[in-house]
């Protein structure tokens, strides 16, 4: 069993009922496990929700998380996507300082290179929408930090397992 601590993306299908999210979050906090990212939404079936949880741990920790989640009554399935082929995306809304034409031009170039979209403009700021893999968003934020990030909101990771033979794009 590996003792390497790494990020894990866990997909959990649950019954769409009051209190299920609180029980899942309580399981993590009660055992001292950190949730780095959490997204929850209904699936194509309104009575079932999907949670995508990103956490950190080694194999032993993940084995415990899996066992404890499967003990919860409203949990239908648990899948650690890490180590398998999966598709993940995240959405970020970022307000970036751009106080002159040169800065504005440079930020707009970065937005274009990263495949983002300008969603708001005022005298001193540009609002940017960017979707993609978490690393892509991290890289963009790192580059625009030099201009000044006024505000940043990220959705958290959403993920699905990949069909064999399908490649992931940024």
What is the pLDDT confidence band of residue 166, given thresholds at 50, 70 and 90?
Answer: very low
Q: Do domains 6-84 and 87-161 have the same CATH topology?
A: yes
Q: With contact defined as beta carbons under 8 Å apart, do 125 and 149 qualify?
A: no
pLDDT surpassing 50 at residue 50: yes
CA nearest neighbour of 136 among 154, 124, 149: 154
Between 148 and 1, the higher pLDDT residue: 148
Q: With contact defined as beta carbons under 8 Å apart, do 31 and 106 qualify?
A: no
State the fold for domain 87-161. Answer: Alpha-Beta Plaits (3.30.70)
pLDDT score for 164: 58
Rounded to an integer, the average pLDDT of 134-151 is: 96
Rounded to an integer, the average pLDDT of 126-152 is: 97
Between the alpha carbon of residue 80 and those of residues 10, 13, 14, 53, 141, the distances in Å are 4, 12, 15, 9, 28
pLDDT score for 163: 66
pLDDT surpassing 80 at residue 168: no
Instruction: For residues 35 and 8, give the distance between their C-alpha atoms in angstroms, rounded to a whole number.
Output: 10
pLDDT score for 85: 85
Residue spans per domain, the chain: 6-84, 87-161
pLDDT in tens, 65-98: 999 999 999 999 999 998 888 899 999 999 999 9
Question: Which region holds residue 16: left if phi is over 0, alpha if psi is between -120 and 50, else beta?
Answer: beta
CATH class of 6-84: alpha beta
């Amino acid at each position: 069993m590996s003792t390497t601590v790494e990020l894990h993306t866990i997909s959990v299908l649950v019954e769409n009922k009051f209190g299920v999210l609180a029980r899942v979050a309580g399981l993590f906090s009660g055992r001292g496990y950190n949730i780095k990212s959490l997204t929850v939404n209904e699936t194509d079936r309104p009575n079932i929700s999907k949670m995508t949880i990103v956490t950190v741990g080694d194999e032993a920790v993940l084995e415990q998380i899996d066992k404890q989640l499967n003990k919860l009554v409203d949990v239908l399935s648990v899948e650690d996507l890490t180590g398998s082929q999966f598709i993940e995306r995240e959405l970020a809304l970022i307000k970036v300082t751009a106080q002159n034409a040169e800065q504005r031009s440079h930020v707009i170039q970065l937005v274009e290179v990263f495949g983002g979209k300008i969603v708001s403009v005022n005298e001193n700021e540009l609002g940017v929408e960017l979707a993609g893999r978490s690393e892509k968003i991290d890289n963009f934020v790192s580059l625009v930090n030099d201009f000044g990030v006024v505000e940043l909101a990220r959705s958290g990771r959403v993920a699905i397992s990949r069909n064999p033979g399908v490649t992931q794009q940024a």
